Structure 1
Amino acid sequence: MIIKTSKYHPDLFSERAYQMCTKTVMDTTDENISFDENGISNHYFEYQAAAEKNLLKEPARSKALEKIVAEIKENGKGKKYDCLIGLSGGVDSTYVAYIVKELGLRPLAVHFDNGWNSELAVHNVNSIIEKLGFDLHTIVVNWEEFRDLQLSYLKASVIDIEVVSDHAIQATMFKLASQFNINYIISGTNIVTEFILPQAWIYPKLDYTNLKSIHDKFGTIKLKTYPRVPFYKYIKYTGFQQLTPISLLDYVDYNKKDAIATITDKLDWRDYGGKHCESLWTKFYQNYILPSKFGVDKRKAHLSTLICSGQISREEAMKTLESPIYDAQELSDDTEYVLKKLGLSPQEFENIMKKHPVPHEFYGTHEGNKRKYKMLLEKTSGLRKLFK
């Protein structure tokens, strides 16, 4: 089979023979994938290297976690909170909340309400907060502004529309960390369930230059309240305030099935039926827009990571990929709902889906500013680690 792969203009598409990794289910739908003489992809080797470097064996792992927790508690003395956690209601963030409670930390939980939360997501978040006794800060964005940004990204034909949500979440986390003098942000990112994710499928979330450029070109209203991180704030938060991100799940024995059983039992958590399906938009984006327009099935990345961590077999993953990514009736219902909420006609949406993909970089990035600041910081004592 011959497939065409390129994130650029169709005239630049190159033909490449289809190939799937012999260890994972990653394939040439990732345009940057490479294979060795045995058909094993770079993703498999990169996972092994990351696991070897970052996933400590016992008892070193427990000792490292004890040290981190002790540092957080010591730093948090006299403060209302000693850390921040993001809470989407999904498996990873819910299990992080559960572990944080078990460790005796005092987090401020942050939830992002962009107007697309499912009823189940609301139930899960409320149940988690009630049972764990955490304070919750909910970001409720202005819907008209957020809708205008999402439409801008759709019209721009770039692949990572989730930047619109992720940028606002990180901007708010940074602001809250500054407001409450919190130095640690604990996230659900982890190696064993989500390490593999091709760079061609995503875009840096904190590049406000790119976001602003896309909105300036395709937006119709002014962004007055949308949380943002202009480059000078990026420098402030990531450098001068020394915020420390912690991937807590890399310091515990994190098994997806076991975690689901625990949070279901302890926190009355209910399953969404898919990764990131707590958001109706993310469900539609990942299960329809990405595969239909960009040829990207994110299940391949998620399943490949689980294969590498030994949580499922390659045969199980292949069987999962044989099933439809979207139930036909569910897709019909969700499409109608999404278009109505966005204010798009079926024809307008069809035209967007037919438009060829455009790389984010086409609209400008903050890389030039990063290079300038890196050169400056190389001459500034004590700040060189900012851009390592």
Structure 2
Amino acid sequence: MINMKSYHICTNCVMDTTDPNIIFDEKGVCERCNQYYSQILPSWNKGNGHDEELKKILNKIKKDGEGRSYDCLLGLSGGFDSSYMLHFAIKELGLRPLVFHVDAGWNTPFAEENIAKMVTKLGVELKVEKINWDEERDFQLAYFKSGVPHLDIPQDLAFVAVLDNFAKKNGLKYILNGGNISTEVIVNPQSWGYWGTDMKHNKDIISRFGTVPMKTYPFTSVFKRKILLPYVYGIKVVKLLNYVPYIKKEAEDLLKKEYGWTPYPQKHFESYMTKFIEGYWLPERFGYDVRRPQLSSLILTEQMSRDEALKRLENSALTNEESKELFDRIALMLEITTDELKSYLEMPHKTYKDYKHQDYLFGLGSKVMYWLKLDKLIRI
């Protein structure tokens, strides 16, 4: 938890010393803000001035898709960004995406309803791949048993692996991604998570705490994602929302009006597991509030005032009643007692360093790709 004697919060956004590696300048502004103003904003320009770049990308996608039923692949989680990305791709860009949903078993009813509303109104086919529930449940439980904070890895790993494999198998060269600078320019601090594609790390946690053989689980690796996918198979992950002005409030209003789409109280709350991890587990166990980077992104992109963000942070993401109900639900879905789940909440904190890992290789690879301008944040 936070040591209040040394506690500091950025004077510009709401990032604070729950990120132990945060650095402030003499004015109390964090390095994340300074990076945004000096390196990202000048190139991105809030999505303005990229018309020619966007046109070139769209022409390439459409040309490569000529004669095919689809020209790209779009993963639809039911969450906000992917839902708007679907509307944007079809209605505003004229693309023909194959819409794909990866069902890891944690969908909320709101997510199911929002997905159905979108695909029905747009008249598109939805392909769904269900992850083996015994493997998903056991993999997720293994991460709880490990004591680390990066509990989102099992779900996220399945999502990206399934999409990558499907694109490769079906000859689709473009995967549309709803990720964007406008609402995600401040990402979670590295100290709050870890590389999901470090298979040495995943295998160690599974070998120590897993009980179900992972015969069908869709794993992937950093080598597959960063090297094989783009440079051998020619499959590109494209973030088209970075090429246009993307305002969250305007996009949300459009989704509600055009599709009857139901907003979530918080980003990523379309999944019971993610809602539990981000709304309860991380704040309660580690003191990490993922709303800080989310709200800080909106502050930097001038979609929210700092005062409004601070006011939102005065209250917990979930009420006591919501927390208890969700705690009981997750224990039931994991097929353990609430007492067992509580024991993992109260166990000593662990990090990736307590298990086998290849962080040194990931760090080196990240630096190399940055130097070669292959994986820079400011590249849109």
Question: How many residues get paired?
Answer: 369
- 1:220 maps onto 2:211 in alignment: yes
Cα gap change, 1:46 to 1:267, in 2 (>3 Å): same
Deviations 1:92-125 (CA, angstroms, capped at 9, x unpaired):
1111001100211111112121111111110100
Q: TM-score, normalised by structure 1?
A: 0.89
Cα gap change, 1:34 to 1:338, in 2 (>3 Å): same
**Which consecutive residues of structure 1, in runs of 5 or more, have no partner in the other structure?**
5-14, 379-383
Q: 1:231, 1:57 → 2: CA distance?
A: 29
Q: What is aligned with 1:345? A: 337
Cα gap change, 1:33 to 1:231, in 2 (>3 Å): closer
3-state SS in 2 of match to 1:271: coil
2:63 is matched by which residue type in structure 1?
Answer: E
1:200 alignment partner, one of 165, 172, 191: 191
Q: 1:279, 1:387 → 2: CA distance?
A: 28
3-state SS in 1 of match to 2:148: coil
- 1:36 maps onto 2:28 in alignment: no
Counterpart contact for 2:161–2:219, Cα < 8 Å: yes
Deviations 1:158-196 (CA, angstroms, capped at 9, x unpaired):
111111011111111111111121111111111111121
Q: 2:19, 2:363 → 1: CA distance?
A: 28
- 1:138 maps onto 2:138 in alignment: no
Q: 2:365, 2:184 → 1: CA distance?
A: 31
**Which consecutive residues of structure 2, in runs of 5 or more, have no partner in the other structure?**
none
Deviations 1:23-76 (CA, angstroms, capped at 9, x unpaired):
001100011101000000011112222222234664x31221111111111111
Q: What is aligned with 2:58? A: 69
Identity, in percent, stands at 36
Q: What is aligned with 2:277? A: 285
CA shift for structure 1 position 135: 2.5
Between 120-129 and 223-232, the greater mean CA deviation after superposition? 223-232
Q: 1:367, 1:348 → 2: CA distance?
A: 30
Counterpart contact for 1:129–1:135, Cα < 8 Å: yes
CA shift for structure 1 position 132: 1.6
CA shift for structure 1 position 228: 1.1
CA shift for structure 1 position 330: 1.3
Q: TM-score, normalised by structure 2?
A: 0.91
Counterpart contact for 2:47–2:242, Cα < 8 Å: no
3-state SS in 2 of match to 1:165: helix
Q: What is aligned with 2:138? A: 148
Q: 2:328, 2:362 → 1: CA distance?
A: 42
1:3 is matched by which residue type in structure 2?
Answer: I
Q: Following superposition of structure 1 onto structure 2, how do residues 238-249 of structure 1 map, counting pairs within 5 Å?
A: 238-249=230-241
Between 340-349 and 27-36, the greater mean CA deviation after superposition? 340-349
- Cα RMSD after superposing both structures: 2.4
- 1:45 maps onto 2:37 in alignment: no
- 1:85 maps onto 2:74 in alignment: yes
